[in-house]
Amino acid sequence: MGKKDIYAKQYIGNSAVFADLFNMLLYQGRQEIRPELLSPLDPVETAVPYGKTGKGLALERIRDQIKVLSSGEDGKAAYLLLGIDAQAKTHYAMPVRNMLYDSLSYTKQVEDLGRLHRQEHDYGDGPEEFLSGIHRGERILPVITAVLNLSQEAWDGPVSLREMLEIRDRRLEPWIQDYKIHLIDPHRMREEELELFRTDLGMVFKWLRYGKDREKLERAVRKDRHAHAVSREAIHVIESHTNSRFPEEAKKDEEEVDMCLALDMMMEEAKAAGVSQGFSQGVSQGEGHLIWVMHQNGMTASEISRVTEKDKEEVEEILKEKKM
C-alpha cells in the first residue's frame, strides 16, 4: 500500500470527516449524521457463497473505510452501513468493484444471522427457513458506498454498470439489472457546494479542483472557514495527491497548518528560487511544476532529488508525467 492510500484511509477514517462526506452526499450538507453515532467496522469483506455444500468460492475484498451508523435515539440501534472507496485515479471498472463490495456486505449479514441461529439451535419453522439460514421476515441493514475521487482530474469513467455493458439487442434493456456508484468528485461539484463542508475536507477538495489555476486556488483558499487551521491529516492527503509541499514554517504546531500563510510562503520561496513565473501557473502544481522547471534548466533527477528531498524514483515519475 502506497503513501497516497495510507494517508487517504487515515483521513477519511476520521469520523468527523466521514460524517461530513456523507452529509454532503445524502443530505446536501445538512448535519443529519453525527460523528459520535458512527462506529468503525472491519474493512475486510469476506464471504463463501454456497458454502453449505462445502464447495463455496472464498471471496475477500478490503474496503478503504466502512462504519455503522446507529440511531440518534439511544446511540445503540444500528440501522445503516456506510462505506467509502477513495480513488487517486479513475477506476474504469468501479461499478463492478463496488457492486462486489456491497454484495459481500449483504452476504456477510445473511451468513452472520444463519450462524447465530445455528449456535442457538434455532433452525426455523420449516424447510424454507432451514435452507435459507434466516427466518421469514428477518431484515438486514442497507449499505451505501461512496466513491471519492482524489485526483486532480475529473472522473471520466463509468458511474453505472449499464455504461460498461455492450447491449446489442435494446429490447433486453428492461431485463438487465443496473448498478450505479455514488460518486463524490470535487471537479463536478458547484462552487457553493464546496463551502458547505464543516471540516477541512472542503479545503482538500478545493486544492484538488483548483490546484492548476493559481488565482482560483488562492481565492478559494483564503475564503475557506478552515484556512487558518487545516489538520495534518488533510495536508498529507493534499501533498501526496498533488505533488505539493508546504513550508515547515507554515505548520503552526504538530496538529494544524495555516493555509494562507503556507500560500504566502510558497510564493516567496518560488520567487527566491527564480521560478516565480512557473509558480504563477499553478500553486498546487507546486512542487511538481518546480521540479519540471529545474529539469528544464539542466538539473538531473538525482540533483533535483537532493534539493527537494524527494526520492529519485518519485522525481522521475513526476518528470515522466510532465512529458506525457
pLDDT tens-digit series, residues 48-95: 665 555 566 667 778 899 999 997 666 567 889 999 999 999 999 999
Computed over every residue of the chain, the mean pLDDT equals 85
The verdict on residue 189 lying in a domain is no
Domain shared by 175 and 219, yes or no? no
Q: End of a domain among 155, 184, 213? A: 184
Domain shared by 167 and 259, yes or no? no
Task: List beta partners, residue 144.
Answer: 82
Report whether 205 contacts 197 (CB < 8 A): yes
Domain shared by 38 and 89, yes or no? yes
Q: Which range of residues forms the domain containing residue 121?
A: 3-184
The verdict on residue 108 lying in a domain is yes
Cα dist. 62→55, 97, 98, 183, 200 in Å?
Answer: 23, 11, 11, 19, 26
Domain shared by 35 and 154, yes or no? yes
The verdict on residue 191 lying in a domain is no
How far apart CA 236 and CA 216 sit, in angstroms, is: 21
pLDDT at position 319 over 70 = yes
pLDDT at position 279: 44
Domain shared by 173 and 217, yes or no? no
Is pTM, for the whole model, over 0.95? no
Number of domains in the chain: 2
Domain shared by 161 and 14, yes or no? yes
Domain shared by 235 and 295, yes or no? yes
